[in-house]
A and B are shown apart, each in its own frame.
Chain A
Amino acid sequence: MIEVRDLVKRYGSTVAVDGLSFQVRPGQVTGFLGPNGAGKSTTMRIVLGLDAPTSGEGLIGGRRYAAMRRPLQQVGALLDASAVHPGRSAYDHLLTLARTNGIGPRRVAALLESVGLAGVARKRAGTFSLGMKQRLGIAAALLGDPAVLMLDEPVNGLDPEGVRWIRELMRSLAAEGRTVLLSSHLMSEMALTADHLVIIGRGRLIADCHMRDLVPDGESLEDAYLRLTAGSVEHGAAR
C-alpha cells in the first residue's frame, strides 16, 4: 500500500505537486497518468525519499521510505532505465544494488535469466538498447522480491514482445497480491494493463477510480484521458 497525503512540492516559484492525496492498493495494477510536468515523477521521487516534500508525506506500508532497513526487499522502483554506468556490466550493475540489501549473486543471475539478459550479462550496459536497459531496470526493481513496485514509463523503447512481457509481468505481480504503481503515456497499453487509475494534472488529483468507472462504453481510455486532462496540459513545465 502506497499512501500520498496532502503532498506539496515547490521548486522555487514552480509548484510541481500541489496538495496531492491518493492511495495505491495491493492486488491490482494502478495506472499513474498525467500530462508531462503533471508531477508524476516528482511524486514517485518523494515517496522513495529522493526528494524532500515541501509539506505532506508519502508513505509505503505506513512508513517513510528513508526509515526502512533493506528497502529493496520491500519496494522495487524503476525511475529511469537509462540510469546505468555505461562502462559497468549488467551483472555488476545489479550486484552493486543487491549487495547493499544483502541479496546474493544467485538472485542476480536468476533475474538476468528471467528478464532475458543472461546472454549479455557480462557486456557493458552502455552497449544496450533502450529496451534492454528497460529489462535491466525491471530486474533491478525485482531484486528484493518486493511487495510494492513503482515503475515510471517501463515500456518505453520495448519491442512488442517486451511490451507484452511487461504487461503480463505486472498483472501476475498484482495477482500475487502486490501493490503495483505504473506510470505511462501509452493509453492503449494502460487500458490493457491497469485495473485502477490515478490521474493528475498540474500537481493535483483529477481522477482516482476504477478503469470501468472512468471509461464509458463506446469510449477509449485515450478519449476519457484527454477529456479529463484538457485543462491541465502545461508545456515547458520544469520537471
Chain B
Amino acid sequence: MIASLSSEWLKIRSVRSTYVVLAVVALAVVIGALFVWQGMAAFDGLPLDRREKFRVIPMEEYMLPMVQLALGVLGVLTITSEYAHGTIRSSLVAVPARGTLLAAKAAAVAAVALAAGQAAVFATFLVTRALVGDRPIPDHGASVAQQAPQLLLLGLSVAVCAMVGLAFGVATRSTAGAIVSVVALLFVIPAGITYLPAPWGTRLSAVMLPNLPDQIAGSLGWRSEEVVVGPWARIPVLPPAWAAVALAAYVVAPLAVAAVLFRRRDA
C-alpha cells in the first residue's frame, strides 16, 4: 500500500493538470479578496444610516464552490486520464490488487484536496478579515481561532468533493461524463432543490453537500435570514451529528460503488 501510494503521489505531481487545478484554487482566493476590497470601498462611501444594512457573504463560503469544483475535477482526472491514455492497464499490471490501487489513488487525491481546501479557506478568511478590519460588517467579527472549527469543515468538504469526483470517474471512465455528474450533484441539484415547495425544499436541501459543513458547525455555521433559496441558502435543519453522518456518506457511498465496479469490470 505504501509503495502504491508513493506511485500515485508521483502520478499527481508529474502532470501539469494538477498545477492548473492549484492555480484555480489560488485564483479563487484572489477573487474573494478583490470582492471584499471592492465591497469595503462601497461600504466606506455609504452614509452612516445605510451602513447598518450592509451585508457581505463571507468569501470562504462564496468562493468555496470554485475550490470544490477544481478539486472535484482533480479527483475525476486521477482515474479518467488513465482510461483516456490507456495507462490504466500498465497501472493494473503493476498493481493487480484493484482495491489497493483505488485506495492509493483515493488517499493521494484526498491529501492534495484536503491541503488545498484548508489552505484556500484559511487564506480567504485571513485576507478578507484583514480587508474588513474593524468595520462592523455582520458575520465578519469572529477571530480565526473562534471560527476555526467551521473553517476546517469547509476545507474538509473540498476533500469530500475530490472523493466524489474520483468515484464518478471510476464509474463513468469518461472525463466529460464524470465532471458533468460532479457539477450536477454538488452544484446544480443543491441550488435547484431549494426552489421546491415547502417543506421539501428545506428538507432535501439539508442533505445537499454544500449545506453540510455549516450544519455540522452548529452555532458557528454561517446562515443568513435574507438568503433562503439558491446556492447560498443555509437553513440549519439537521443536528450536527446527523449532518456529519451525511457528509461521511458522500465519501463512503460513491467510493464503495466505485470499488465494486472497479474490481468487477475488465480493464
Contacts and interface: CB of A to CB of B under 8 A. Distances in A.
Interface string B1-43: 0011011101100111100000000000000000000000000
Given A77-B93, A97-B90, A140-B90, A87 B7 contact: no
Interface residues of A, number: 33
A238 to B, nearest CB: 13
B94 A48 contact: no
A80 B86 contact: yes
Contacts of B93: 48-50, 71-72, 75, 77, 79
A129 interface: no
A123 B222 CA distance: 48
Contacts of B6: 99
A123 to B, nearest CB: 13
Q: Give the most central of A48, A77, A99: most B CB within 10 Å.
A: A99
A177 interface: no
Contacts of A51: 266-267
A42 to B, nearest CB: 9
A237 interface: no
Contacts of A100: 3-4, 7, 91, 94-95
A83 B4 contact: no
Contact of B14 (A52, A65, A82, A96): A96
Interface string B89-128: 1111111110000000000000000000000000000000
Given A49-B96, A79-B93, A102-B3, 12 more contacts: A50-B92, A51-B267, A65-B96, A66-B96, A71-B94, A71-B96, A77-B93, A83-B85, A87-B15, A88-B11, A92-B10, A96-B14
Interface of B: 3-4, 6-8, 10-11, 14-17, 81, 85-87, 89-97, 266-267
Interface of A: 45, 48-52, 65-68, 71-72, 75, 77, 79-80, 82-89, 92, 95-97, 99-102, 140
